[in-house]
Amino acid sequence: MDNLRELYQQVIIEHAKSPRNFGELKNTAHCANGFNPLCGDKLRLCLTIEEHKITEARFQGEGCAISMASASLLTESLKNKSTEEAEQLFSSFQDMLVNEQPPTDRLGKLTILHGVAEFPSRIKCAMLAWHALMAALKGDDEVSTE
């Protein structure tokens, strides 16, 4: 189990160092800014949605390793998902981290972040990109974890 935990930490650090889908996404209205005042994490998430399907997801921002890794893993997971599937993914992820539920198969690679549940002060870091996702889907511009 310790080896697995170390492996997960390595994946988180690697994603934080070279986040996937980092950058601006132009020509889309589906963007939201997220802010976590407790830690100072800030990010902006943008989606391209075509016929209820997410074809592109990108983010920009700065923050701790967990917030950046979570955003990176999230954007990887969103591609080619329907907006309904993205909402289900949010619920599963939130259940895993906030509601202390065991991770479901749906989460796939995102279970790497399960360990964050042990650190209540960091849960908001991991959830930030996800709240931005929900805001972008709903058409809200701003979201804060507080």
Residues near Zn ion (CB under 5 A): 39, 41, 63-64, 67, 125
Burial group, residue 66, by CB count within 10 angstroms (0-12, 13-18, 19+): buried
Min dist. Cβ of residue 57 to Zn ion (A) = 20
Tokens of 57: 């997801």
Kind and range of the H or E element at 43? strand 41-50
Min dist. Cβ of residue 128 to Zn ion (A) = 7
- The residue (of 64 and 106) whose beta carbon lies closer to Zn ion is 64
What gap in Å lies between CA 22 and CA 144, rounded to an integer? 20
- The residue (of 30 and 122) whose beta carbon lies closer to Zn ion is 122
Min dist. Cβ of residue 87 to Zn ion (A) = 24
- The residue (of 16 and 49) whose beta carbon lies closer to Zn ion is 16
Min dist. Cβ of residue 121 to Zn ion (A) = 9
- The residue (of 63 and 103) whose beta carbon lies closer to Zn ion is 63
Tokens of 127: 């959830």
What gap in Å lies between CA 122 and CA 124, rounded to an integer? 5
117 within 8 A of 95, measured Cβ to Cβ: no
